[in-house]
């Protein structure tokens, strides 16, 4: 297992800790470590739930910019998130600081999410001329609805934890110690018999609105308001 990711057992809970200062970027060793840790937890018959936390001042803040422009290295982030989402044991992402870009996509791959009250989440790829490439465009609207997901993806602006709770991106807010909060929530999942809740299989956020109309209206708005910009329209 990569040195930037540690797996600890706390009774029936597997605690997965990411420690890649300064911002826990998703470098290849981190991706590989996450993949191996979640696979190990899923294969352990004694583990009933998983909590994902990050050391330092922030949750995973996004991709590793040192890898930009270089040949891709396995595992890719979409591959890692497929392992996380497909696991048989329920998992909770414990968000603090910022969960941005690939960091939020990792959190969306987990089955549940809790956020410290001062945390922020977002998909800022558009500001780099990119779009979310690891499932964020598909998973976020399933939780937050198409209108909110469009606003976040096209603007690239992060939102606070309270707003993320309001739009069902996170399930609960907490204060205090990350590990304590993560272990407590994971234990509740066990005690309440809650299993995996895969974001990619959710549909509540897609119901009750004409999504094709929403997308068409947003496209027209962006074409007028952000004339000449490439990535917002592609998003």
Q: How does pLDDT run across 137-171, given as a tens digit for each residue? A: 999 999 999 999 999 999 999 999 999 999 999 99
**Catalytic positions:** 105, 125
pLDDT in tens, 81-109: 999 999 999 999 999 999 999 999 999 99
Q: What is the mean pLDDT of the chain?
A: 93
**pLDDT of res. 26:** 95
pLDDT class of 212 with cuts at 50, 70, 90? confident
CB contact set of 182 (below 8 Å; sequence gap of 6+): 15, 51, 52, 53, 92, 94, 114
Q: How far apart, in whole angstroms, are the C-alpha atoms of residue 136 and residue 146?
A: 12
Under 8 Å between Cβ of 109 and 140: no
**pLDDT of res. 1:** 46
Tracing tokens 């300064």 back to the chain, one arrives at 22
Can you read off the two tokens belonging to residue 41?
């937890």
CB contact set of 15 (below 8 Å; sequence gap of 6+): 7, 8, 9, 50, 51, 53, 179, 182, 183
Tracing tokens 């945390």 back to the chain, one arrives at 119
pLDDT exceeds 80 at position 66? no
pLDDT in tens, 103-129: 999 999 999 999 999 999 999 998 888
Share of the chain above pLDDT 90, in %: 75
Beta-bridge mates of residue 52: 16, 93
**Nearest C-alpha neighbor of 163 from the set 119, 97, 98:** 119
pLDDT class of 177 with cuts at 50, 70, 90? very high
Q: Which domains does the chain have, with CATH numbers?
A: 5-207 (3.90.226.10)
Average confidence (pLDDT) over 181-185: 98
pLDDT in tens, 5-45: 999 999 999 999 999 999 999 999 999 999 999 999 999 99
């Amino acid at each position: 297992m990569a040195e930037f990711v540690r797996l600890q057992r706390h009774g029936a809970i597997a605690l997965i800790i990411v420690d890649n200062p300064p911002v826990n970027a998703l470098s290849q060793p981190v991706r590989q470590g996450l993949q191996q840790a979640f696979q190990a937890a899923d294969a352990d018959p004694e583990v009933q739930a998983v909590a994902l936390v990050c050391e330092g001042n922030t949750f995973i803040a996004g991709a590793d910019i040192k890898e930009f422009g270089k040949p891709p290295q396995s595992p890719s982030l979409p591959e890692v998130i497929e392992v996380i989402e497909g696991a048989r044991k329920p998992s909770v992402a414990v968000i603090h600081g910022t969960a941005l870009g690939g960091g939020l996509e990792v959190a969306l791959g987990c089955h549940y999410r809790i956020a410290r009250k001062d945390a922020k989440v977002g998909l800022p790829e558009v500001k780099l001329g990119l779009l979310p490439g690891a499932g964020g465009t598909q998973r976020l609207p399933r939780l937050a609805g198409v209108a909110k997901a469009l606003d976040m993806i096209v603007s690239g602006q992060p939102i606070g934890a309270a707003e993320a709770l309001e739009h069902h991106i996170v399930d609960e807010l907490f204060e205090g110690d990350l590990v304590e909060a993560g272990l407590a929530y994971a234990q509740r999942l066990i005690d309440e018999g809650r299993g995996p809740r895969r974001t990619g299989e959710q549909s509540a956020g897609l119901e009750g609105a004409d999504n094709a109309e929403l997308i068409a209206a947003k496209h027209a708005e962006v074409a007028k308001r952000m004339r000449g910009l490439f990535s917002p329209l592609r998003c």
